[in-house]
Amino acid sequence: MDFTTYLKNYPSKSGRFGRFGGAYLPEQLVPAMEEITQAYLTICHSSQFINELRRIRREFQGRPTPVYHCENLSRKLGNCQIYLKREDLNHSGAHKLNHCMGEGLLAKFMGKKRIIAETGAGQHGVALATAAAFFGLECTIYMGEVDIAKQAPNVARMKVLGANVVPVSTGLKTLKEAVDAAFEDYLQNYKDTIYCIGSAVGPHPFPMMVRDFQMVVGEEARAQFQDMMGFLPDVVTACVGGGSNSIGFFLPFINDPVEIVGVEPLGRGEKLGDHAASMSYGTEGVMHGFDSIMLKDENGNPAPVYSIASGLDYPSVGPEHAFLREVGRIKYDVASDIETVDAFFKLSRYEGIIPALESAHALAYAMRRAREMDKGSILVNLSGRGDKDLDYVIEHYGYGDDFKDFDKPAQVQQVADVQPADETPAVNEDN
Ligand SMILES: *Cc1c(COP(=O)(O)O)cnc(C)c1O
């Protein structure tokens, strides 16, 4: 396949990446999605919109975020050099704000008064509440009661930012019910409201818009690396939950001689329910309004998923990922919980950067590859910072004394007193 014209041709007018993607919607919402698509396709070419988004990124978000060479970590692993794109330094601590600010600005340009979403662990809710505060939009976030109880700090953040957090008390009181409640709200209120999806998933135009808003990450990183080094990295890698930080980071390299690898959570192992590696173990299906690769249970419904990183436990993946693997441009690999925790502690201890557990999956993969390659360079998208994960990690793994060692890869390292949690931690996907 020729990738020089890729961005012009994908997605198609109907939102397809090959046979993946599309928009599977209740009839009432077809005009609402059509309105968003048309508005976006017009606005994204307007210099007023582009200039305003640039100003926001520079002055409010603190972009560009730096590219950083992990000299200490690289030296410990051999001769391959690891670099990080520091999205953990993006305002509010992760890449999610990149698309939330884009969606907020779009809502403003369309004259909408209100943005809504559901949230699981609360990361998307916080990013969207931040955007709403900035743009002076009303913001309603639906969240299961069980999640509200587990995620007190993020609930507090959303409220301080002015969002209306609506507890959902039906069913299991977690993400699925929150999605239903947000959807119900949207059906009633789509005239003055936009439903802001938290990753490169959902019906067209969301996978396209979220990708476009996240591409600033890869564009910056490619130029910064080229400036620093005079050439491009051999491998670029990022973690894949719904697939927003990864697709935005990867696409600017699509036409380069660079190996691109998405990293999914292997969790506790290969058994269904123990991981959330949709690309690696899933099959094609339709859920949440789009066609992609997904993990299904025996009845064909979305399967239960697990990851130590609550932002990665989603049973499907953005349709563009499914397509780019099928045409052979992007590869997918996995990192287990234990490798991830190892990467989390090693980056903290040897570089002074505490990564989000989501991002630590990509770093774990990069560390494994660095040992194998023993030359060249790997650029990792560090999608977020790890403050939010500290309590969990300390409770289950202590302060990392078992993870100081570089002699043995993490998978074979004996971590004596670590028991898997009986209750899965924050099993609620956060997209
Ligand atoms: C939500 C989240 C992710 C996963 O979402 P994607 O859409 O796959 O990028 C990754 N990293 C961090 C820090 C997150 O908060």
Residue to mutate (ligand 1; options 90, 151, 199; most atoms within 8 A of CB): 199
| Closest residue by CA, ligand 1 atom 5 | 241
Domains and CATH numbers, the chain: 16-59+96-207 (3.40.50.1100), 62-93+215-424 (3.40.50.1100)
What are the φ/ψ torsions at residue 429 (nearest 5 degrees)? Answer: -55, 145
395, 349, 270, 391: CA torsion to nearest 10: 20
Q: How far apart are CA 306 and CA 308, in angstroms?
A: 7
| First vs last C-alpha separation in the chain | 31
396 flagged as catalytic: no
- Ligand 1 in reach of 247 Cβ (< 6 A): no
What CA–CA distance (Å, rounded) separates 319 from 292?
A: 5
Q: How far apart are CA 85 and CA 342, in angstroms?
A: 20
Active site residue 70: yes
Q: What is the best residue among 130, 307, 358 to mutate for testing ligand 1's pocket, by most ligand atoms within 8 Å of CB?
A: 358
- The residue annotated as part of the active site, out of 80, 91, 95, 361, is 95
Closest of 4, 52, 1 to residue 255, by C-alpha: 4
**pLDDT tens, position by position, for the chain (431 residues)?**
889 999 999 999 999 999 999 999 999 999 999 999 999 999 999 999 999 999 999 999 999 999 999 999 999 999 999 999 999 999 999 999 999 999 999 999 999 999 999 999 899 999 999 999 999 999 999 999 999 998 899 999 999 999 999 999 998 898 888 988 998 999 999 999 999 999 999 999 999 999 999 999 999 999 999 999 999 999 999 999 999 999 999 999 999 999 999 999 999 999 999 999 999 999 999 999 999 999 999 999 999 999 999 999 899 999 999 999 999 999 999 999 999 999 999 999 999 999 999 999 999 999 999 999 999 999 999 999 999 999 999 999 999 999 999 987 665 444 444 444 444 444 444 44
237 lines ligand 1 (CB under 6 A): no
Identify which of 41, 39, 16, 38 has the alpha carbon closest to the alpha carbon of residue 203: 16
Core vs surface per residue 146-166: b (16+ CB within 10 A) or e: bbbebbeebbebbeebebebb
Determine if residue 193 is left, alpha or beta; phi over 0 gives left, psi from -120 to 50 gives alpha, anything else beta. Answer: beta
State how far the Cα of 418 lies from the Cα of 413, in Å rounded to an integer: 12
The model's pTM is: 0.94
Residue with tokens 């898997």, as numbered in its chain? 420
Ligand 1 atom nearest to CA at 317: 8
> How many CB atoms sit inside 10 A of residue 234's CB?
17
Which of 86, 239, 279, 390 is the pocket-test mutation for ligand 1 (most atoms within 8 Å of CB)? 239
Would you call 140 helix, strand, or coil by DSSP?
A: strand
